Protein backbone atom coordinates (compact mmCIF):
# COMPACT_ATOMS: atom_id res chain seq x y z
CA UNK A 1 0.00 0.00 0.00
CA UNK A 2 1.08 3.62 -0.58
CA UNK A 3 1.07 4.27 3.17
CA UNK A 4 4.02 1.92 3.62
CA UNK A 5 6.23 3.30 0.87
CA UNK A 6 9.36 5.21 1.84
CA UNK A 7 10.30 7.96 -0.64
CA UNK A 8 11.64 11.51 -0.69
CA UNK A 9 10.20 14.82 -1.95
CA UNK A 10 12.85 17.31 -3.08
CA UNK A 11 13.04 20.83 -4.48
CA UNK A 12 15.90 22.99 -5.74
CA UNK A 13 16.58 26.69 -6.13
CA UNK A 14 19.16 27.38 -8.82
CA UNK A 15 21.19 29.95 -10.72
CA UNK A 16 18.52 29.94 -13.45
CA UNK A 17 18.14 28.35 -16.85
CA UNK A 18 21.55 29.22 -18.30
CA UNK A 19 23.96 26.30 -18.35
CA UNK A 20 25.59 25.13 -16.25
CA UNK A 21 22.70 25.23 -13.81
CA UNK A 22 24.02 25.31 -10.24
CA UNK A 23 21.94 24.45 -7.17
CA UNK A 24 21.96 27.20 -4.55
CA UNK A 25 19.44 25.61 -2.16
CA UNK A 26 18.46 21.96 -1.81
CA UNK A 27 15.60 20.77 0.39
CA UNK A 28 14.06 17.35 0.94
CA UNK A 29 11.57 15.56 3.15
CA UNK A 30 11.43 11.84 3.83
CA UNK A 31 7.93 10.47 3.28
CA UNK A 32 6.07 7.36 4.41
CA UNK A 33 3.16 7.06 2.07
CA UNK A 34 1.44 10.44 1.88
CA UNK A 35 2.84 11.70 5.20
CA UNK A 36 6.19 13.30 6.11
CA UNK A 37 8.45 11.28 8.37
CA UNK A 38 11.22 12.78 10.46
CA UNK A 39 13.00 16.11 10.05
CA UNK A 40 13.43 17.80 6.67
CA UNK A 41 16.76 18.34 4.93
CA UNK A 42 17.81 21.84 3.84
CA UNK A 43 21.21 23.18 2.83
CA UNK A 44 22.59 26.12 0.86
CA UNK A 45 25.38 25.47 -1.64
CA UNK A 46 28.30 27.79 -2.43
CA UNK A 47 29.63 27.16 -5.93
CA UNK A 48 31.61 30.40 -5.93
CA UNK A 49 29.66 31.74 -8.93
CA UNK A 50 27.68 34.91 -9.55
CA UNK A 51 23.88 34.61 -9.32
CA UNK A 52 22.05 36.16 -12.29
CA UNK A 53 19.82 39.06 -11.15
CA UNK A 54 16.68 37.45 -12.57
CA UNK A 55 17.27 34.31 -10.47
CA UNK A 56 18.24 36.29 -7.36
CA UNK A 57 15.01 38.30 -7.56
CA UNK A 58 13.03 35.05 -7.37
CA UNK A 59 14.73 33.25 -4.47
CA UNK A 60 16.71 36.08 -2.84
CA UNK A 61 20.14 34.43 -2.87
CA UNK A 62 23.25 36.35 -3.94
CA UNK A 63 26.86 35.28 -4.27
CA UNK A 64 27.66 37.14 -1.05
CA UNK A 65 24.92 35.34 0.90
CA UNK A 66 26.03 31.93 -0.36
CA UNK A 67 29.71 32.61 0.33
CA UNK A 68 28.72 33.54 3.88
CA UNK A 69 26.10 30.88 4.63
CA UNK A 70 26.53 28.17 1.99
CA UNK A 71 28.54 24.96 2.15
CA UNK A 72 30.80 23.26 -0.41
CA UNK A 73 28.64 21.26 -2.86
CA UNK A 74 30.51 17.99 -2.24
CA UNK A 75 29.79 18.21 1.49
CA UNK A 76 26.11 19.01 0.89
CA UNK A 77 25.63 16.07 -1.48
CA UNK A 78 27.36 13.68 0.90
CA UNK A 79 24.90 14.69 3.62
CA UNK A 80 22.04 14.50 1.09
CA UNK A 81 23.05 10.95 0.11
CA UNK A 82 22.99 9.91 3.77
CA UNK A 83 19.52 11.46 4.16
CA UNK A 84 18.00 9.90 1.02
CA UNK A 85 19.70 6.50 0.97
CA UNK A 86 18.32 4.37 -1.87
CA UNK A 87 14.78 5.72 -1.69
CA UNK A 88 12.98 6.91 -4.84
CA UNK A 89 12.89 10.68 -5.29
CA UNK A 90 9.88 12.74 -6.29
CA UNK A 91 9.46 16.44 -6.95
CA UNK A 92 6.88 18.83 -8.33
CA UNK A 93 8.77 19.06 -11.62
CA UNK A 94 10.96 16.00 -11.80
CA UNK A 95 12.04 16.67 -15.38
CA UNK A 96 13.64 19.91 -14.18
CA UNK A 97 14.85 19.14 -10.64
CA UNK A 98 16.20 15.67 -11.46
CA UNK A 99 16.94 15.55 -15.20
CA UNK A 100 18.00 19.16 -15.89
CA UNK A 101 19.53 20.16 -12.55
CA UNK A 102 20.74 17.38 -10.25
CA UNK A 103 21.96 14.73 -12.70
CA UNK A 104 24.06 17.23 -14.74
CA UNK A 105 25.42 18.79 -11.55
CA UNK A 106 26.41 15.42 -10.13
CA UNK A 107 28.14 14.51 -13.41
CA UNK A 108 29.95 17.87 -13.42
CA UNK A 109 31.15 17.37 -9.83
CA UNK A 110 31.96 13.67 -10.23
CA UNK A 111 29.34 12.66 -7.65
CA UNK A 112 27.37 9.37 -7.97
CA UNK A 113 23.57 9.86 -8.35
CA UNK A 114 21.67 9.95 -5.07
CA UNK A 115 18.53 7.83 -4.70
CA UNK A 116 16.47 6.84 -7.75
CA UNK A 117 14.20 8.71 -10.14
CA UNK A 118 10.67 8.44 -8.78
CA UNK A 119 7.38 10.35 -9.02
CA UNK A 120 6.63 13.63 -10.80
CA UNK A 121 3.91 15.22 -8.71
CA UNK A 122 3.29 17.89 -11.36
CA UNK A 123 2.26 15.21 -13.86
CA UNK A 124 0.18 13.53 -11.17
CA UNK A 125 -1.60 16.81 -10.37
CA UNK A 126 -2.21 17.62 -14.03
CA UNK A 127 -3.96 14.32 -14.57
CA UNK A 128 -5.82 13.92 -11.27
CA UNK A 129 -7.15 17.51 -11.37
CA UNK A 130 -8.10 17.42 -15.05
CA UNK A 131 -9.85 19.59 -16.09
CA UNK A 132 -7.78 21.75 -13.76
CA UNK A 133 -10.24 23.94 -11.80
CA UNK A 134 -7.42 26.35 -10.93
CA UNK A 135 -6.72 27.01 -14.61
CA UNK A 136 -3.12 25.83 -14.40
CA UNK A 137 -0.98 23.63 -12.19
CA UNK A 138 1.58 26.17 -11.01
CA UNK A 139 2.39 25.19 -7.44
CA UNK A 140 1.62 28.57 -5.88
CA UNK A 141 -1.59 28.92 -7.91
CA UNK A 142 -2.83 25.58 -6.58
CA UNK A 143 -1.74 26.51 -3.06
CA UNK A 144 -3.84 29.64 -3.15
CA UNK A 145 -6.76 28.03 -4.99
CA UNK A 146 -7.06 25.23 -2.44
CA UNK A 147 -6.24 27.55 0.48
CA UNK A 148 -3.23 25.55 1.58
CA UNK A 149 -0.90 27.09 4.19
CA UNK A 150 1.60 29.71 3.04
CA UNK A 151 4.99 28.08 3.43
CA UNK A 152 7.47 30.46 1.84
CA UNK A 153 7.19 30.58 -1.94
CA UNK A 154 10.38 30.31 -4.01
CA UNK A 155 12.38 28.73 -1.21
CA UNK A 156 13.25 25.08 -1.69
CA UNK A 157 12.01 24.01 1.75
CA UNK A 158 8.85 26.13 1.49
CA UNK A 159 8.00 24.56 -1.87
CA UNK A 160 8.65 21.05 -0.50
CA UNK A 161 6.21 21.73 2.34
CA UNK A 162 3.61 23.07 -0.10
CA UNK A 163 3.97 19.95 -2.27
CA UNK A 164 3.37 17.82 0.84
CA UNK A 165 0.23 19.82 1.64
CA UNK A 166 -1.03 19.52 -1.93
CA UNK A 167 -0.28 15.81 -2.12
CA UNK A 168 -1.91 14.94 1.20
CA UNK A 169 -4.95 17.21 1.12
CA UNK A 170 -5.80 17.35 -2.59
CA UNK A 171 -4.13 14.63 -4.64
CA UNK A 172 -4.44 11.74 -2.20
CA UNK A 173 -8.28 11.72 -2.03
CA UNK A 174 -8.52 11.92 -5.82
CA UNK A 175 -6.02 9.10 -6.30
CA UNK A 176 -7.73 6.86 -3.76
CA UNK A 177 -11.14 7.57 -5.31
CA UNK A 178 -9.70 6.12 -8.54
CA UNK A 179 -8.31 3.10 -6.72
CA UNK A 180 -4.69 4.21 -7.20
CA UNK A 181 -3.28 3.28 -3.82
CA UNK A 182 0.22 1.92 -4.41
CA UNK A 183 3.50 3.64 -5.26
CA UNK A 184 3.92 1.76 -8.53
CA UNK A 185 0.37 2.53 -9.58
CA UNK A 186 0.91 6.25 -8.92
CA UNK A 187 4.12 6.34 -10.97
CA UNK A 188 2.53 4.36 -13.81
CA UNK A 189 -0.57 6.59 -13.79
CA UNK A 190 1.47 9.80 -13.86
CA UNK A 191 3.81 8.59 -16.65
CA UNK A 192 1.12 7.11 -18.93
CA UNK A 193 0.36 8.84 -22.24
CA UNK A 194 -2.38 11.34 -21.54
CA UNK A 195 -3.63 14.72 -22.77
CA UNK A 196 -5.76 17.40 -21.06
CA UNK A 197 -9.49 17.02 -21.57
CA UNK A 198 -9.78 20.74 -22.30
CA UNK A 199 -8.17 21.62 -25.64
CA UNK A 200 -5.42 24.18 -25.04
CA UNK A 201 -4.88 25.67 -28.50
CA UNK A 202 -6.33 26.32 -31.95
CA UNK A 203 -9.85 27.18 -33.06
CA UNK A 204 -11.40 24.95 -30.38
CA UNK A 205 -9.29 26.25 -27.49
CA UNK A 206 -11.18 25.86 -24.22
CA UNK A 207 -13.54 23.15 -25.49
CA UNK A 208 -13.76 19.74 -23.84
CA UNK A 209 -12.59 17.16 -26.38
CA UNK A 210 -15.52 14.84 -25.51
CA UNK A 211 -17.90 17.42 -26.96
CA UNK A 212 -16.83 15.94 -30.30
CA UNK A 213 -19.31 13.13 -29.57
CA UNK A 214 -22.11 15.51 -30.58
CA UNK A 215 -20.19 18.17 -32.50
CA UNK A 216 -19.20 16.95 -35.99
CA UNK A 217 -17.00 20.00 -36.62
CA UNK A 218 -14.94 19.32 -33.48
CA UNK A 219 -14.66 15.62 -34.36
CA UNK A 220 -13.48 16.59 -37.84
CA UNK A 221 -10.83 18.85 -36.29
CA UNK A 222 -9.60 16.01 -34.05
CA UNK A 223 -9.38 13.77 -37.12
CA UNK A 224 -7.39 16.47 -38.89
CA UNK A 225 -5.08 16.67 -35.86
CA UNK A 226 -4.61 12.91 -35.87
CA UNK A 227 -3.57 13.10 -39.52
CA UNK A 228 -0.97 15.80 -38.92
CA UNK A 229 2.53 15.35 -40.33
CA UNK A 230 3.85 16.38 -36.92
CA UNK A 231 4.22 13.16 -34.87
CA UNK A 232 3.35 14.83 -31.56
CA UNK A 233 0.20 16.46 -32.95
CA UNK A 234 -0.82 13.22 -34.62
CA UNK A 235 -0.34 11.28 -31.37
CA UNK A 236 -2.50 13.78 -29.50
CA UNK A 237 -5.29 13.65 -32.08
CA UNK A 238 -5.24 9.85 -32.14
CA UNK A 239 -5.40 9.74 -28.33
CA UNK A 240 -8.39 12.08 -28.25
CA UNK A 241 -10.24 10.02 -30.87
CA UNK A 242 -9.48 6.77 -29.06
CA UNK A 243 -10.84 8.12 -25.78
CA UNK A 244 -13.99 9.85 -27.03
CA UNK A 245 -16.25 7.04 -25.92
CA UNK A 246 -14.54 6.09 -22.65
CA UNK A 247 -14.97 7.75 -19.28
CA UNK A 248 -12.23 6.36 -17.08
CA UNK A 249 -9.45 8.76 -18.12
CA UNK A 250 -11.19 12.11 -17.74
CA UNK A 251 -13.17 13.23 -14.73
CA UNK A 252 -16.41 15.25 -15.03
CA UNK A 253 -15.90 19.01 -14.69
CA UNK A 254 -17.29 19.58 -11.21
CA UNK A 255 -15.98 18.54 -7.82
CA UNK A 256 -17.69 18.25 -4.48
CA UNK A 257 -15.91 19.89 -1.58
CA UNK A 258 -13.92 17.46 0.53
CA UNK A 259 -15.16 19.10 3.71
CA UNK A 260 -17.96 21.51 2.98
CA UNK A 261 -18.65 21.98 6.65
CA UNK A 262 -15.35 23.77 7.10
CA UNK A 263 -15.43 27.41 6.07
CA UNK A 264 -12.96 28.04 3.27
CA UNK A 265 -12.15 24.35 2.72
CA UNK A 266 -10.54 23.21 -0.52
CA UNK A 267 -13.05 22.79 -3.32
CA UNK A 268 -11.99 19.37 -4.51
CA UNK A 269 -12.25 15.77 -4.23
CA UNK A 270 -15.05 13.39 -5.18
CA UNK A 271 -16.59 14.19 -8.57
CA UNK A 272 -20.39 14.22 -8.85
CA UNK A 273 -23.05 14.84 -11.47
CA UNK A 274 -23.60 18.58 -11.89
CA UNK A 275 -27.30 19.15 -11.18
CA UNK A 276 -28.79 22.60 -10.80
CA UNK A 277 -28.57 22.76 -7.01
CA UNK A 278 -24.98 21.59 -6.96
CA UNK A 279 -24.06 24.13 -9.64
CA UNK A 280 -25.72 26.95 -7.72
CA UNK A 281 -23.78 25.93 -4.62
CA UNK A 282 -20.51 25.86 -6.55
CA UNK A 283 -21.25 29.22 -8.17
CA UNK A 284 -21.96 30.83 -4.82
CA UNK A 285 -18.70 29.44 -3.40
CA UNK A 286 -16.79 30.66 -6.44
CA UNK A 287 -18.31 34.12 -6.12
CA UNK A 288 -17.31 34.33 -2.47
CA UNK A 289 -13.78 33.25 -3.32
CA UNK A 290 -13.54 35.76 -6.16
CA UNK A 291 -14.85 38.59 -3.96
CA UNK A 292 -12.27 37.73 -1.29
CA UNK A 293 -9.41 37.70 -3.80
CA UNK A 294 -10.50 40.92 -5.51
CA UNK A 295 -10.69 42.61 -2.11
CA UNK A 296 -7.19 41.44 -1.25
CA UNK A 297 -5.79 42.51 -4.61
CA UNK A 298 -7.47 45.93 -4.56
CA UNK A 299 -6.43 46.74 -0.99
CA UNK A 300 -2.83 45.52 -1.45
CA UNK A 301 -2.42 47.34 -4.76
CA UNK A 302 -3.74 50.51 -3.15
CA UNK A 303 -1.29 50.13 -0.26
CA UNK A 304 1.61 49.67 -2.70
CA UNK A 305 0.43 52.72 -4.67
CA UNK A 306 0.32 54.73 -1.45
CA UNK A 307 3.97 53.90 -0.74
CA UNK A 308 4.93 54.80 -4.30
CA UNK A 309 3.01 58.08 -3.92
CA UNK A 310 5.01 58.96 -0.80
CA UNK A 311 8.23 58.24 -2.66
CA UNK A 312 7.03 60.40 -5.56
CA UNK A 313 6.28 63.29 -3.20
CA UNK A 314 9.80 63.10 -1.76
CA UNK A 315 11.42 63.03 -5.20
CA UNK A 316 9.00 65.10 -7.25
CA UNK A 317 11.20 68.25 -7.56
CA UNK A 318 14.12 66.20 -8.83
CA UNK A 319 11.98 64.10 -11.16
CA UNK A 320 10.43 67.26 -12.59
CA UNK A 321 13.80 68.97 -13.10
CA UNK A 322 15.22 65.83 -14.71
CA UNK A 323 12.28 65.49 -17.10
CA UNK A 324 12.40 69.17 -18.03
CA UNK A 325 16.10 68.83 -18.81
CA UNK A 326 15.34 65.82 -21.02
CA UNK A 327 12.58 67.78 -22.74
CA UNK A 328 14.82 70.81 -23.29
CA UNK A 329 17.59 68.62 -24.68
CA UNK A 330 15.19 66.88 -27.07
CA UNK A 331 13.78 70.16 -28.40
CA UNK A 332 17.18 71.82 -28.73
CA UNK A 333 18.24 68.86 -30.90
CA UNK A 334 15.14 69.42 -33.00
CA UNK A 335 15.92 73.14 -33.09
CA UNK A 336 19.42 72.41 -34.39
CA UNK A 337 18.11 70.02 -37.06
CA UNK A 338 15.54 72.59 -38.20
CA UNK A 339 18.15 75.35 -38.21
CA UNK A 340 20.53 73.36 -40.39
CA UNK A 341 17.90 72.03 -42.77
CA UNK A 342 15.31 74.84 -43.04
CA UNK A 343 16.68 77.99 -41.46
CA UNK A 344 15.91 80.21 -38.48
CA UNK A 345 12.20 80.68 -39.16
CA UNK A 346 11.53 76.94 -39.02
CA UNK A 347 13.73 76.65 -35.92
CA UNK A 348 11.71 79.39 -34.19
CA UNK A 349 8.59 77.25 -34.64
CA UNK A 350 10.31 74.37 -32.82
CA UNK A 351 11.02 76.71 -29.89
CA UNK A 352 7.31 77.49 -29.69
CA UNK A 353 6.50 73.78 -29.61
CA UNK A 354 8.92 73.39 -26.71
CA UNK A 355 7.11 76.05 -24.66
CA UNK A 356 3.81 74.22 -25.11
CA UNK A 357 5.41 70.86 -24.25
CA UNK A 358 6.94 72.33 -21.08
CA UNK A 359 3.55 73.64 -19.97
CA UNK A 360 2.04 70.19 -20.55
CA UNK A 361 4.83 68.55 -18.55
CA UNK A 362 4.33 70.95 -15.63
CA UNK A 363 0.58 70.36 -15.76
CA UNK A 364 1.16 66.61 -15.80
CA UNK A 365 3.27 66.82 -12.66
CA UNK A 366 0.62 68.91 -10.94
CA UNK A 367 -1.99 66.29 -11.79
CA UNK A 368 0.32 63.47 -10.65
CA UNK A 369 0.90 65.29 -7.36
CA UNK A 370 -2.86 65.69 -6.88
CA UNK A 371 -3.41 62.00 -7.56
CA UNK A 372 -0.54 61.02 -5.25
CA UNK A 373 -2.03 63.04 -2.39
CA UNK A 374 -5.20 60.96 -2.66
CA UNK A 375 -3.47 57.58 -2.52
CA UNK A 376 -3.68 56.19 0.97
CA UNK A 377 -3.88 52.69 2.39
CA UNK A 378 -7.38 51.56 3.29
CA UNK A 379 -8.54 51.56 6.89
CA UNK A 380 -10.09 48.42 8.40
CA UNK A 381 -13.57 49.93 7.90
CA UNK A 382 -12.80 50.70 4.27
CA UNK A 383 -11.56 47.14 3.73
CA UNK A 384 -14.80 45.81 5.20
CA UNK A 385 -16.75 48.05 2.84
CA UNK A 386 -14.60 46.91 -0.07
CA UNK A 387 -15.45 43.28 0.72
CA UNK A 388 -19.16 44.13 0.63
CA UNK A 389 -18.68 45.98 -2.66
CA UNK A 390 -16.95 43.07 -4.32
CA UNK A 391 -19.63 40.65 -3.14
CA UNK A 392 -22.07 42.77 -5.14
CA UNK A 393 -19.77 43.31 -8.10
CA UNK A 394 -18.87 39.65 -8.69
CA UNK A 395 -22.56 38.92 -9.24
CA UNK A 396 -22.41 41.12 -12.33
CA UNK A 397 -19.89 38.80 -14.01
CA UNK A 398 -21.87 36.45 -16.23
CA UNK A 399 -20.72 35.35 -19.71
CA UNK A 400 -24.25 34.73 -20.97
CA UNK A 401 -25.02 38.42 -20.59
CA UNK A 402 -22.86 38.81 -23.69
CA UNK A 403 -25.68 37.70 -25.96
CA UNK A 404 -26.35 37.96 -29.66
CA UNK A 405 -27.66 41.46 -28.97
CA UNK A 406 -24.78 43.70 -30.06
CA UNK A 407 -25.95 46.65 -27.96
CA UNK A 408 -26.21 44.60 -24.76
CA UNK A 409 -22.88 42.93 -25.42
CA UNK A 410 -21.23 46.33 -25.88
CA UNK A 411 -22.83 47.65 -22.67
CA UNK A 412 -21.69 44.62 -20.67
CA UNK A 413 -18.15 44.85 -22.01
CA UNK A 414 -17.97 48.56 -21.13
CA UNK A 415 -19.26 47.85 -17.63
CA UNK A 416 -16.75 45.08 -16.91
CA UNK A 417 -13.92 47.18 -18.38
CA UNK A 418 -14.86 50.07 -16.07
CA UNK A 419 -14.94 47.75 -13.05
CA UNK A 420 -11.47 46.47 -13.95
CA UNK A 421 -10.16 50.01 -14.50
CA UNK A 422 -11.50 51.16 -11.13
CA UNK A 423 -10.04 48.09 -9.42
CA UNK A 424 -6.58 48.63 -10.91
CA UNK A 425 -6.68 52.35 -10.11
CA UNK A 426 -7.86 51.71 -6.55
CA UNK A 427 -10.88 53.90 -7.32
CA UNK A 428 -13.14 52.84 -4.46
CA UNK A 429 -15.63 55.63 -5.14
CA UNK A 430 -16.21 54.31 -8.66
CA UNK A 431 -16.59 50.73 -7.46
CA UNK A 432 -19.09 51.96 -4.88
CA UNK A 433 -21.07 53.84 -7.54
CA UNK A 434 -21.30 50.75 -9.75
CA UNK A 435 -22.14 48.32 -6.94
CA UNK A 436 -24.87 50.54 -5.51
CA UNK A 437 -26.86 50.47 -8.75
CA UNK A 438 -25.35 48.83 -11.83
CA UNK A 439 -28.44 49.35 -14.00
CA UNK A 440 -28.51 53.06 -13.19
CA UNK A 441 -24.76 53.36 -13.69
CA UNK A 442 -24.94 51.82 -17.16
CA UNK A 443 -27.86 54.08 -18.06
CA UNK A 444 -26.08 57.22 -16.83
CA UNK A 445 -23.12 56.45 -19.04
CA UNK A 446 -25.42 56.20 -22.05
CA UNK A 447 -24.31 52.63 -22.73
CA UNK A 448 -27.81 51.19 -23.11
CA UNK A 449 -29.03 48.39 -20.87
CA UNK A 450 -27.78 45.05 -19.52
CA UNK A 451 -29.89 42.16 -18.28
CA UNK A 452 -28.75 41.16 -14.78
CA UNK A 453 -31.31 38.37 -14.28
CA UNK A 454 -29.86 35.04 -13.13
CA UNK A 455 -29.94 32.16 -15.59
CA UNK A 456 -31.36 28.84 -14.38
CA UNK A 457 -30.46 26.63 -17.35
CA UNK A 458 -27.91 23.92 -16.69
CA UNK A 459 -25.71 24.87 -19.66
CA UNK A 460 -25.64 28.55 -18.76
CA UNK A 461 -24.90 27.84 -15.10
CA UNK A 462 -22.08 25.52 -16.10
CA UNK A 463 -20.68 28.27 -18.35
CA UNK A 464 -20.99 30.78 -15.52
CA UNK A 465 -19.13 28.49 -13.11
CA UNK A 466 -16.29 27.97 -15.58
CA UNK A 467 -16.05 31.72 -16.16
CA UNK A 468 -15.88 32.44 -12.42
CA UNK A 469 -13.15 29.83 -12.03
CA UNK A 470 -11.20 31.49 -14.84
CA UNK A 471 -11.58 34.88 -13.16
CA UNK A 472 -10.39 33.43 -9.86
CA UNK A 473 -7.21 32.23 -11.56
CA UNK A 474 -6.73 35.57 -13.31
CA UNK A 475 -7.03 37.36 -9.98
CA UNK A 476 -4.63 34.93 -8.29
CA UNK A 477 -2.07 35.55 -11.04
CA UNK A 478 -2.47 39.33 -10.76
CA UNK A 479 -2.06 39.08 -7.00
CA UNK A 480 1.06 36.92 -7.37
CA UNK A 481 2.52 39.32 -9.94
CA UNK A 482 1.89 42.23 -7.57
CA UNK A 483 3.53 40.42 -4.65
CA UNK A 484 6.59 39.56 -6.74
CA UNK A 485 7.09 43.15 -7.94
CA UNK A 486 9.89 45.44 -6.65
CA UNK A 487 7.23 47.97 -5.64
CA UNK A 488 5.55 45.43 -3.35
CA UNK A 489 8.89 44.45 -1.84
CA UNK A 490 9.62 48.10 -1.09
CA UNK A 491 6.18 48.54 0.47
CA UNK A 492 6.75 45.52 2.73
CA UNK A 493 10.15 46.83 3.87
CA UNK A 494 8.79 50.33 4.47
CA UNK A 495 5.87 48.90 6.46
CA UNK A 496 8.37 47.20 8.78
CA UNK A 497 10.82 50.13 8.82
CA UNK A 498 9.14 53.46 7.96
CA UNK A 499 12.49 55.35 7.97
CA UNK A 500 13.64 53.18 5.09
CA UNK A 501 11.60 55.25 2.64
CA UNK A 502 13.79 58.30 3.28
CA UNK A 503 16.91 56.19 2.73
CA UNK A 504 15.52 54.89 -0.59
CA UNK A 505 14.62 58.45 -1.60
CA UNK A 506 18.15 59.66 -0.76
CA UNK A 507 19.69 56.90 -2.87
CA UNK A 508 17.42 57.69 -5.81
CA UNK A 509 18.08 61.41 -5.32
CA UNK A 510 21.80 60.78 -5.72
CA UNK A 511 21.16 58.85 -8.94
CA UNK A 512 18.94 61.66 -10.23
CA UNK A 513 21.55 64.29 -9.44
CA UNK A 514 24.16 62.33 -11.38
CA UNK A 515 21.79 61.91 -14.32
CA UNK A 516 20.93 65.63 -14.29
CA UNK A 517 24.60 66.60 -14.27
CA UNK A 518 25.15 64.51 -17.40
CA UNK A 519 22.07 66.04 -19.07
CA UNK A 520 23.22 69.57 -18.22
CA UNK A 521 26.68 68.93 -19.65
CA UNK A 522 25.21 67.61 -22.90
CA UNK A 523 22.76 70.53 -23.07
CA UNK A 524 25.60 73.04 -22.59
CA UNK A 525 27.53 71.48 -25.46
CA UNK A 526 24.48 71.65 -27.67
CA UNK A 527 23.73 75.28 -26.73
CA UNK A 528 27.32 76.22 -27.55
CA UNK A 529 26.98 74.63 -30.98
CA UNK A 530 23.72 76.48 -31.67
CA UNK A 531 25.20 79.77 -30.47
CA UNK A 532 28.21 79.39 -32.77
CA UNK A 533 25.94 78.81 -35.76
CA UNK A 534 23.79 81.88 -35.01
CA UNK A 535 26.70 84.22 -34.24
**Per-domain boundaries in the chain:** 2-191, 209-276, 283-398+454-495
Average pLDDT along the chain, 535 residues, taken 10 residues at a time: 84 89 95 95 94 83 89 96 96 95 96 94 94 80 88 85 95 92 93 90 86 92 93 94 72 39 39 63 88 91 92 93 94 90 86 90 90 83 88 81 71 87 84 88 84 70 82 88 88 90 92 95 92 82
Host H or E run for residue 160? helix 156-166
Is the domain spanning 2-191 CATH 3.30.420.10? The answer is yes
Count how many Cα atoms sit within 13 Å of the Cα of residue 38 in the half-sphere of its side chain.
Answer: 14
Query: Which residues are CB-neighbours of 439 under 8 A, at least 6 positions away?
Result: 449, 450, 452
Q: Are strands 88-91 and 6-14 parallel, antiparallel or unpaired?
A: parallel
Number of C-beta neighbours around residue 129 at 10 A: 21
Query: From residue 157, how far is each of 93, 164, 232, 523 by CA, in Å?
Result: 15, 11, 36, 54
Q: Give pLDDT, residue 258.
A: 36
Strands 23-32 and 41-44: antiparallel
> In angstroms, rounded to a whole number, what is the distance separating the alpha carbons of residues 179 and 128?
12
Radius of gyration of the chain (CA): 29
Centroid of chain to Cα 330: 38
Q: What is the pairing mode between strands 255-257 and 6-14?
A: unpaired
Rounded CA gap, 133 and 504, in Å? 42
What's the confidence (pLDDT) of residue 252? 40
Total residues belonging to the chain: 535
What pLDDT is recorded for position 239?
95
Helices and strands per DSSP (H, E), number in the chain: 21, 8
In whole angstroms, how far apart are CA 413 and each of 29, 464, 490?
49, 16, 35
Please give, one letter per residue, the 3-state secondary structure of 5-38. Answer: CEEEEEEEEECCCCCCCCEEEEEEEEEECCEECC
Distance CA 133, CA 294 (A): 18
pLDDT of residue 165: 96
247 vs 130: CA distance, rounded Å: 13
pLDDT at 158: 93
**484 CB contacts (<8 Å, ≥6 apart)?**
58
Amino acid sequence: MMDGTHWVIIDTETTGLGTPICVVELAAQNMRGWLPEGEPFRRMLNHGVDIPPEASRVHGYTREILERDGDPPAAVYQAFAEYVGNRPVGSYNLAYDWDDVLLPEWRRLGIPPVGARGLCLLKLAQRLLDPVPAGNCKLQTLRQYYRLPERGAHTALGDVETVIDLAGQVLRPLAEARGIDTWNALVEFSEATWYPSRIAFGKYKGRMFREARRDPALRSWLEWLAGSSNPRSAQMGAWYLAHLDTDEDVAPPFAEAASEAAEGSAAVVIYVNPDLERLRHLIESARSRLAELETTYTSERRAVSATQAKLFELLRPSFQKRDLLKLRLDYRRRFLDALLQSGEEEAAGVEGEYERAREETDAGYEEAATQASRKKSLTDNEKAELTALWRKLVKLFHPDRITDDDAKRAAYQRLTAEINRARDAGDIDRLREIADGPEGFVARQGWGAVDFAEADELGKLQHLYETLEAQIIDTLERLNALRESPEYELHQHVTDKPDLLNQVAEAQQADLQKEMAELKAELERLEAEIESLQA
